[in-house]
């Protein structure tokens, strides 16, 4: 019942006009923990269904649904460290911020009817990757978007209500900022020339991770070895993608198969990157002139078609 109720509440909250300085009847700096529990119930188990890492304690609640995640922050010492005046001015269970992360794609136009009321900024580091942030400081509303699709909505107090904790709300852009990591830090797995039965076990783990990170893309880079059959890397990368799509149910657009060229030995690399992050690029270590191409007619003992 709670899950069904929350899906309804989130859908209604998302559909509200930005003119409303609240999310489902909850208003930062005016609502409290008891209001949250009265409307949404007890908080969700942070180990279930989460698409990111959270450190939860009595200063933070999170709620999950098939529609999205709602993350609520209260005025507690661990949340407003360095803003002692805030703790002295408001009750410890006062709602400071509500962050909603939709998993259903919705365009920015569904939330902003008049962009003149919003200041825009680039929330990503490095910049220029396609992210756009919108902030309306008067109404306390901040959005993070990627290529026109809303990724985060943050409900803050109106400008008039922020004064007791003005330092906490000094830079509203920070609530939706993100650091884009270099692609090599996103490597999920690497393996050699496995039989397909063994490779499928590695791809199963890859699929599980992709399904848990709903806004991520998977990259398969295959390098043929110094002795290779014609088109071997392309064949193997395509086979791995077909398995993920046809057997494991990953959408085709979320998996990219790449022929990486050649290395000393046959190698498969699996990467995961969030939408908008730089895609991993192949790093071959041998030139084609250094490779012995073995015609398929020789039937070299390989595991390619197993």
Domain residue limits, the chain: 2-179, 183-298
Q: Rounded mean pLDDT of 79-99?
A: 86
Residue 87 pLDDT: 84
pTM of the model: 0.56
User: Which class is domain 183-298?
Assistant: alpha beta
At residue 56, the 3 state secondary structure works out as: coil
More confident residue, 60 or 250: 250
For 145-177, what is each residue's pLDDT tens digit? 988 899 999 999 999 899 999 889 999 999 888
Residue 85: other Cβ atoms inside 10 A:
14
Average pLDDT score over the chain: 83
By C-alpha distance, which of 210, 147, 181 is closest to 277? 181
Question: Is pLDDT larger for residue 18 or for residue 144?
Answer: 144
**Mean pLDDT throughout 193-205?**
94
% of the chain exceeding 90 in pLDDT: 51
Tell me: pLDDT of 102 over 80.
yes
The DSSP string of 117-176 is: G-EEE--EESS-SSEEEEEETTTTEEEEEETTEEEEEEE---GGG-GGGTTTTS-GGGGG
> How far, in Å, CA of 154 to CA of 22, rounded?
10
What is the distance between the alpha carbons of residues 286 and 263, in angstroms, rounded to a whole number?
Answer: 5
On the question of a cis peptide bond just before residue 126, with omega within 30 degrees of 0, the verdict is yes
Between β-strands 255-262 and 216-224, what pairing exists: parallel, antiparallel or unpaired?
Answer: parallel
For residue 208, give both structure tokens. Answer: 């599980």
- The yes-or-no verdict on residue 116 having pLDDT over 60 is yes
């Amino acid at each position: 019942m709670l899950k069904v109720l929350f899906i309804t509440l989130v859908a209604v909250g998302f559909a509200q006009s930005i003119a409303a300085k609240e999310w489902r009847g909850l208003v930062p700096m005016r609502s409290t923990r008891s209001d949250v529990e009265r409307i949404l119930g007890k908080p969700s188990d942070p180990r279930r269904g989460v698409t990111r890492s959270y450190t939860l304690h009595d200063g933070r609640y999170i709620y999950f649904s098939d529609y999205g995640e709602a993350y609520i922050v209260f005025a507690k010492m661990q949340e407003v460290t360095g803003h002692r005046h805030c703790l002295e001015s408001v009750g410890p269970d006062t709602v400071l911020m509500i962050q909603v992360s939709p998993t259903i794609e919705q365009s920015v136009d569904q939330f902003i009817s008049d962009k003149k009321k919003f200041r825009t900024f680039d929330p990503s580091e490095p910049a220029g990757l396609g992210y756009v942030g919108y902030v309306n400081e008067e109404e306390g509303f901040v959005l993070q978007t990627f290529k026109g699709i809303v990724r985060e909505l943050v409900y803050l107090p109106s400008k008039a209500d922020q004064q007791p904790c003005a330092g906490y709300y000094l830079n509203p852009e920070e609530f939706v900022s993100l650091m884009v990591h270099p692609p090599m830090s996103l490597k999920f797995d690497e393996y050699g020339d496995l039989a397909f039965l063994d490779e499928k076990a590695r791809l199963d783990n890859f699929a599980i991770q992709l399904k848990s990170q709903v806004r991520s893309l998977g990259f398969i880079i295959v390098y043929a070895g110094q002795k290779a059959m014609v088109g071997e890397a392309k064949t193997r990368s395509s086979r791995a993608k077909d398995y993920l799509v046809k057997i494991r149910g990953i959408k085709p657009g979320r998996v990219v198969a790449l022929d990486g060229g050649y290395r000393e030995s046959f190698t498969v690399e699996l990467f995961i990157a969030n939408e908008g992050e730089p895609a991993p690029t192949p790093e071959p270590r041998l030139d084609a002139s250094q490779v012995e191409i073995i015609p398929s007619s020789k039937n070299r003992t390989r595991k390619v078609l197993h």
